[in-house]
C-alpha cells in the first residue's frame, strides 16, 4: 500500500527516494516539492530568465524520474540532482555554443539598493558575465562547489575555472558595489 | 568553499535565494509524468499488437521451422540394440541433449575464465 501524503511530508528523503524508485509517483512529487525551489533558483542564477529556468528545471525533474533507477546512493539524491541540473544547463548552452563565447555581455548593470530586488539585481549582474564565467561563479557561490568539482562537471581546465571565478568575482564586486553601503539585505519572500 | 570567495558576494547569493511556490510547478511535473506514462503504455500496447499480428501471419512458417528443428535434434547420438535401454536413455541420447550439455560446459568454462 502506498503511504499517504502526510506520511510522505514527514518521511526521510532516502525513504521517499526508495519509494520513487519503485515507481511511486506521489513519492516523486514529494521530492519535487522539496527540491524544486533550490533547482529553480540554481537555474535562474545560471540563465537569468525565470521562464527558461522553470523549463530547464522541469527537464531536470523529468530526467530524474526517468533515470532514478540509476541512482545508487539513496542518501545522495541532492548531489545527484545537482549533477543532473548542471548537465541539463551545459547541454542547453552547448547546443547554442555559448560556452565558447568568453566575452562579457555588457560592462555594467545598474545596482539598486532595494533589498527586495536583490534577486533581480544579482541575475542582471550575472547576465553581464560571459556564459562560462557565470557557470563557474554560480556553481562556486550558489552551490559551494570546489574548483575541481566545477572542472569535473564543466570539463573546463582547472586554471581556467580559477581565472573565471577571480574575474567574475571582481566584476560582481564592481556591479553590485551599491550593496556595500546598504544594511544586510533580508531574505526575499 | 574556495579561498578566493568574496564573503559579500557569497552573502548576496544566499540572500537572493527565494523560496518559490511548489504547487504549480509540482503539478506540471506530475502532469507530464502521467502523460509520459500513458504514451509509454500506448506504445507497449501497439508493439504487443504488432507482435501478435506478425506471429499470427508467420505462424505456418514458424511451425514448420520448429518441426524441422525438433526433427533434426531428436535423433539418437549412439544407436543401441536394446529397445528398453534406448527408451531409458532417450532423454540424454539425442543431439539436443549433447548440444545443451556442451552449452552448459562452455558457460562454466567461460565463467571460470572471467572470474
Instruction: Kindly give the confidence (pLDDT) of every residue in chain A, 189 residues in length, as a single tens digit, with 9 standing for 90 and above.
Output: 556 666 778 888 999 999 999 989 999 999 999 999 999 999 999 988 889 999 999 999 999 999 999 888 888 999 999 999 999 999 998 887 655 555 554 444 444 444 457 888 888 889 889 888 999 999 999 988 999 999 988 888 999 999 999 999 999 988 888 876 444 554 443
Calculated CA dihedral for residues A143, A147, A148, A151, nearest 10 degrees: 90
Q: Please state the φ and ψ torsions of residue B107, each to the nearest 5 degrees.
A: -65, -45
Within 10 A of A100 (CB to CB), how many other CB atoms are there? Answer: 11
State whether the Cα torsion A72-A76-A82-A86 is positive or negative: negative
C-alpha dihedral over A23, A29, A30, A34, to 10 degrees? 130
| Per-residue pLDDT, A178 | 80
Q: Please answer yes or no on whether A32 and B26 come within 8 Å at the CB atom.
A: yes
Q: Which residue of A has its CA nearest to B29?
A: A58
pLDDT of residue A106: 46
φ, ψ at A42 (rounded to 5°) = -60, -45
Under the banding of pLDDT at 50, 70 and 90, the label for residue B44 is very high
* B3 phi and psi angles, rounded to 5 deg: -70, -35
pLDDT for the residue B53: 96
CA B21 to chain centre: 41
Q: Provide the shortest C-alpha distance from residue A156 to chain B (in Å).
A: 17
Measured in whole angstroms, the distance separating CA A116 from the mean position of its chain's CA atoms is 20
CB A168 within 8 A of CB A137: yes
State the nearest Cα–Cα gap between A111 and chain B, in angstroms. Answer: 12
- Measured in angstroms, the CA of B7 and the nearest CA of chain A are apart by 10
Instruction: Give the pLDDT of residue A189.
Output: 39
Distances (CA, A) of B108 to B96, B97, B100, B105, B111: 18, 17, 12, 5, 5
Which one of B1, B2, B21 makes the best mutation probe of the A interface by having the most chain A beta carbons within 10 Å?
A: B2
Among candidate residues A37, A28, A40, the one with its CA nearest the CA of residue A67: A28
Mean pLDDT of B59-84: 89
* pLDDT (0 to 100) of residue A107: 44
Q: Minimal Cα distance from B3: which residue of A? A: A146
Identify which has the larger pLDDT, B1 or A189: B1
Query: Average pLDDT for residues B66-70, to the nearest whole number?
Result: 91
Mean pLDDT of B71-96: 86
Residue A36's pLDDT is 95
Whether the CB-CB separation of A105 and A129 falls below 8 Å is answered with yes
pTM of the full structure: 0.69
pLDDT given at position A80 = 93
Interface ipTM: 0.72
pLDDT at B100 exceeding the cut of 90: yes
Amino acid at each position: 500500500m502506498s503511504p499517504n501524503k502526510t506520511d510522505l511530508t514527514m518521511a526521510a528523503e532516502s525513504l521517499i527516494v526508495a519509494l520513487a524508485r519503485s515507481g511511486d509517483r506521489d513519492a516523486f512529487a514529494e521530492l519535487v516539492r522539496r527540491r524544486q525551489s533550490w533547482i529553480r533558483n540554481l537555474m535562474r542564477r545560471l540563465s537569468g530568465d525565470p521562464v527558461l529556468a522553470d523549463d530547464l528545471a522541469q527537464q531536470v525533474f523529468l530526467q530524474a524520474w526517468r533515470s532514478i533507477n540509476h541512482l545508487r546512493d539513496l542518501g545522495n539524491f541532492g548531489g545527484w540532482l545537482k549533477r543532473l541540473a548542471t548537465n541539463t544547463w551545459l547541454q542547453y548552452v552547448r547546443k547554442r555554443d555559448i560556452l565558447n563565447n568568453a566575452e562579457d555581455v555588457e560592462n555594467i548593470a545598474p545596482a539598486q539598493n532595494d533589498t527586495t530586488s536583490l534577486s533581480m539585481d544579482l541575475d542582471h549582474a550575472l547576465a553581464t558575465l560571459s556564459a562560462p564565467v557565470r557557470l563557474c561563479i554560480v556553481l562556486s557561490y550558489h552551490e559551494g562547489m570546489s574548483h575541481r568539482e566545477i572542472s569535473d562537471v564543466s570539463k573546463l581546465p582547472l586554471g581556467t575555472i580559477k581565472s573565471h571565478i577571480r574575474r567574475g568575482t571582481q566584476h560582481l564586486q564592481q556591479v553590485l558595489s551599491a550593496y556595500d553601503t546598504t544594511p544586510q539585505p533580508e531574505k526575499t519572500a | 568553499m574556495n579561498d578566493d570567495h568574496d564573503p559579500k558576494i557569497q552573502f548576496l547569493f544566499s540572500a537572493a535565494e527565494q523560496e518559490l511556490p511548489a504547487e504549480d510547478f509540482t503539478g506540471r511535473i506530475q502532469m507530464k509524468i502521467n502523460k509520459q506514462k500513458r504514451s509509454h503504455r500506448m506504445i507497449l500496447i501497439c508493439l504487443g499488437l504488432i507482435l501478435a499480428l506478425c506471429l499470427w501471419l508467420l505462424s505456418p512458417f514458424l511451425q514448420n521451422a520448429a518441426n524441422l528443428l525438433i526433427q533434426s535434434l531428436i535423433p539418437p547420438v549412439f544407436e543401441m540394440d536394446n529397445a528398453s535401454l534406448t527408451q531409458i536413455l532417450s532423454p540424454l541420447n539425442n543431439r539436443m541433449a549433447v548440444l545443451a550439455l556442451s552449452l552448459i560446459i562452455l558457460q562454466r568454462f567461460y565463467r571460470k575464465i572471467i572470474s
